[in-house]
Structure 1
Amino acid sequence: MDHATWLADRFEQQRPQLHAVAYRMLGSLSEAEDAVQEAWLRLSRSDDETISNLGGWLTTVVGRVCVDMLRARQARREDYVGTRLPEPILGLDEVDDPAHQTEVADSVGLALLVVLETLTPAERLAFVLHDMFAMSFEEIAPMLDRTPAAARQLASRARRRVQGSPTVPDTDLATQRKVVTAFLAAARAGSFDALVAVLHPDVVFRVDTGARTRLAPALLTGSVDVARQAAAQGPRFARHCRLALVNGTAGIVARTATGVIAVAGMTVIEDRIITIDLILDPDKLNTLAPGGCGPDRVSEVSS
């Protein structure tokens, strides 16, 4: 085996971890892949014989690349009608791609990624690498040109923001399915009372249209307003919906003959839905439709 092939093999061993870091940093599968590819390019141009810890070196590169990408994203500040939501990871049949199914199981919920979007790039890096990947602040600090104490403070601020938001769903997937199924049945029937019963009183409903035309309310809060909207639009829209895994938890995918038209991630806490993140942005859904990766990218969750 020549050196180039050996180095490529070692990089591929690190790729899943690097992609997991990048997705949590960027909330975008395509941008995460770009960040990982940039790490490979930098590795291929470096003197790898001087790298004693390849995994740590690559994670440092990916972390810095992600911070730069987040800062560039903030600088251009695209106008969104609603909340800018992450690209979803949808469940896939294990027989088709067990590696992707593992990725889904290990993914973080959309609600948490939405909160991470409110952090500064430095806060996000410190929190993601320390709290999610158990890296020390001594390792994180050089990526940010900060001291370990400053990196610790960044992670602490981020942690308070995360802990102050409902981002951790009930762990029982069967319960999640039951609650989301009840929501979908109530929406199909246009039943306001049944919708209120399955929604948390403080539910938050966020919509990402990815367009300048308002296709839906950008943000609704409270069970009454969310139930009213779902009851009004549900009978027409819900007929296209099926239960699916969205970022490892029970959610909804809407699909027509043309492909996936919407994905909704839901956070179920104490048997009620407390967040709904509805993605209508075609740019985030086009790889899930025919012509992209095909409809087999989506596997419905049996109830």
Structure 2
Amino acid sequence: MALTADDVERFEAFRPRLEALAYRLLGSAAEAEDAAQETFLRWQAADVDRIEVPEAWLTKVVTNLCLNQLASARARRETYVGQWLPEPLLGGDPMLGPAETAEQRESVSYAVLTLMERLSPGERAVYVLREAFAYSHREIAAILDITEAASQQILHRARKHVAGGRARTMIDEAAARRIVEEFLTAAASGRTEPLVRLLVEDVVSVADGGGKVPARAKAFQGALAVARFLRGLFKPGEAKRAIAGGSPELHAWTANGDPAVVAVMDGRVVGVLSLEVTAEGIAAIRNQVNPDKLERATARWAAVDHGDPLFTIF
């Protein structure tokens, strides 16, 4: 049955929410877009006049598409080269979704997206639907074809897994910029001491190159080890410039609500280094340099006024 212009408009009005939901479930902007488009194809094939609550129907379809995708994603990640990190979303990206409550902002943070890798697909779905989109357990039960009691139990388990992380400090854009400026100043100083002072004792630094960009397969752990790594990373050198093909410009921004260093070369985002900030200091550094996971960031970067760089690396 052909869709009317109104039917298409109804879907398009809801597409951003579907993409935001799919991104939280999959950790990939590209896969989230694909899931939303496949949902549109299902909408196109349905008898939409008989769908009583379009929002509920669309949410159920996209959630189940993502659950199927998560099952195969787990197998792919077992053979992934190096560390796997989610695709970062730069500040202002509509795919970040609702951000009115602390729970909503937390649910799209890099820290929580990474921790959600511990969850089963079902746990992940219940957690996202409840924490990020405030669906009731009754609604979640209908979406996932489970009981309300099961939804409550699954959420309890999921929260316990996700609670394994540190309590993040919520900060605004101005504070994020100050943190990034202080971090870059310390990293470019050539000394480890200024960096160590910014880091918590058991800080972790992880990078995702996807086998396409050099990145250490194992995480650096501990303030001194991470500080030494960062000192070397930011140390200028002709060899580094040759490998990178130039000198990336470093900007202060946010990614998934966290302070972030955005590395840009010839208008292309070549790295997003996110800082997980707690009351005690920087608890984790997650560096996404896999070019396949930076295409949306590059498109977003081109659409915003990002000003002059703070530093030029190498």
TM-score range normalised by the length of the shorter chain:
0.7 to 0.9
- The 1:48–1:239 alpha-carbon spacing in structure 2 relative to 1, beyond 3 Å, is closer
CA distance in 2, matches of 1:266, 1:38: 34
Structure 2, unaligned stretches of length 5 or more?
Answer: 100-104, 241-246
The offset of 1:78, in angstroms, is: 4.8
Residue number in structure 1 paired with 2:102: none
The offset of 1:102, in angstroms, is: 8.4
| Alignment partner of 1:148 is 2:148 | yes
AA matched with 1:285: L
Residue number in structure 2 paired with 1:62: 62
Over the aligned positions, Cα root-mean-square deviation in angstroms equals 2.6
CA distance in 2, matches of 1:40, 1:104: 19
Residue number in structure 2 paired with 1:97: none
* Pairs within 5 Å for 1:23-102: 23-91=23-91, 100=93
Residue number in structure 2 paired with 1:249: 258
| Alignment partner of 1:121 is 2:121 | yes
The offset of 1:297, in angstroms, is: 4.5
Residue number in structure 2 paired with 1:137: 137
Residue number in structure 2 paired with 1:240: 249
For the 8 Å contact 2:180–2:260, the answer to whether it is kept is: yes
Residue number in structure 2 paired with 1:95: none
- The 1:274–1:89 alpha-carbon spacing in structure 2 relative to 1, beyond 3 Å, is same
For the 8 Å contact 2:88–2:256, the answer to whether it is kept is: yes
The offset of 1:44, in angstroms, is: 1.1
The offset of 1:214, in angstroms, is: 5.1
| Alignment partner of 1:263 is 2:272 | yes
| Alignment partner of 1:273 is 2:282 | yes
Please give the per-residue CA displacement for 1:225-277, whole angstroms capped at 9, x wherever unaligned.
Answer: 11111112222379632212212332001122372221111111126211111
AA matched with 1:234: F
For the 8 Å contact 1:82–1:206, the answer to whether it is kept is: no
The offset of 1:39, in angstroms, is: 1.1
AA matched with 2:251: R
For the 8 Å contact 1:244–1:299, the answer to whether it is kept is: no
Tell me which moved more, 109-118 or 78-87: 78-87
Tell me which moved more, 200-209 or 216-225: 216-225
- The 1:210–1:32 alpha-carbon spacing in structure 2 relative to 1, beyond 3 Å, is same
- The 1:25–1:272 alpha-carbon spacing in structure 2 relative to 1, beyond 3 Å, is same
CA distance in 2, matches of 1:239, 1:213: 14
- The 1:301–1:70 alpha-carbon spacing in structure 2 relative to 1, beyond 3 Å, is farther
* Pairs within 5 Å for 1:166-181: 166=166, 168-181=168-181
SS in structure 1 of the partner of residue 271 of structure 2: strand
CA distance in 2, matches of 1:52, 1:105: 24
- The 1:300–1:197 alpha-carbon spacing in structure 2 relative to 1, beyond 3 Å, is farther
- The 1:35–1:198 alpha-carbon spacing in structure 2 relative to 1, beyond 3 Å, is same
Normalising by structure 2, what TM-score?
0.84
Normalising by structure 1, what TM-score?
0.86
For the 8 Å contact 2:21–2:128, the answer to whether it is kept is: yes
AA matched with 2:292: D
Residue number in structure 1 paired with 2:244: none
SS in structure 2 of the partner of residue 84 of structure 1: coil
